[in-house]
Amino acid sequence: MRLLVVEDDRDLNRQLVSALSEAGYAVDTAFDGEEGHFLGDTEPYDAVILDLGLPQMDGLSVLEQWRRDERNMPVLILTARDRWSDKVAGMDAGADDYVAKPFHMEEILARVRALLRRSAGHAKNEIEVGPLRLDAGSSRVTLDGSPIKLTAHEYRLLAYLMHHRGRVVSRTELIEHLYDQDFDRDSNTIEVFVGRLRKKIPAELIETVRGLGYCLGSRVDEA
């Protein structure tokens, strides 16, 4: 899953990026509203953490413009604790959730998980596909109850496919949603990680759909 953090406080920005990266997400970052708006308008993020008090272009304006342009990614806004009116304005502008400053990082992680879970149509943190089970809360994957050791990139790929189980996901979509801007997006990257995953889980669980991409589990249109 690929996230965008738009926060002008550099220390807080760095803390958010660090915590989210450690939780298994690919994270891009912006320090003002104009840069954040541009990235959110041109890149396919799975969710955005957006501060409202930004320089250049305030967060509320950024959010309103995204929604006018039909950018529908989930957005978690950060607000000052005593500005309840900001919370109302943010939700009315199209935010999906909010957190008041100061906050505990675990709350941010939990709310991001909830946003991603709801946007993918899941009610729980645990996703099961055959003998595979993903616990998004602990970033843990098990096969028949036994934990699987995965690299960060392998985990991101498998988690994305599990969140979108039953749907064919193209290589382009995987590259766009799994890696941050600084990652070297070689055309063979996805194939390499799929090959590695097939050695750690039943290979038949990941179906290659010729000319289209990959599907984990039975395809929805065949159900």
Tokens (6 digits) for 137: 């809360």
CATH topology of domain 2-119: Rossmann fold (3.40.50)
* pLDDT value for 120: 82
* pLDDT value for 87: 85
Reading the chain (223 residues) residue by residue, the pLDDT tens digits are 999 999 999 999 999 999 999 999 999 999 999 999 999 999 999 999 999 999 999 999 999 999 999 999 999 999 886 678 888 999 999 999 999 999 999 999 999 999 998 888 887 889 999 999 999 888 899 999 999 999 988 999 999 999 999 999 999 899 888 888 767 666 578 899 999 999 999 999 999 999 899 999 876 544 4
CA distances from 45 to 70, 75, 104, 136 (A): 13, 10, 23, 18
Asked if residues 50 and 30 have their Cβ atoms less than 8 Å apart, the reply is no
The segment(s) of the chain belonging to CATH 1.10.10.10 are 126-222
Class at the top of the CATH hierarchy for domain 126-222: mainly alpha
* pLDDT value for 221: 44
Q: What angle do CA 186, 155, 72 make, to 5 degrees?
A: 80
Asked if residues 113 and 119 have their Cβ atoms less than 8 Å apart, the reply is no
The segment(s) of the chain belonging to CATH 3.40.50.2300 are 2-119
* Cβ atoms within 10 Å of 87's Cβ, excluding its own: 18
Instruction: Give helix then strand counts, H and E, for the chain.
Output: 8, 11
| Gyration radius of the chain's alpha carbons | 18
* pLDDT value for 223: 40
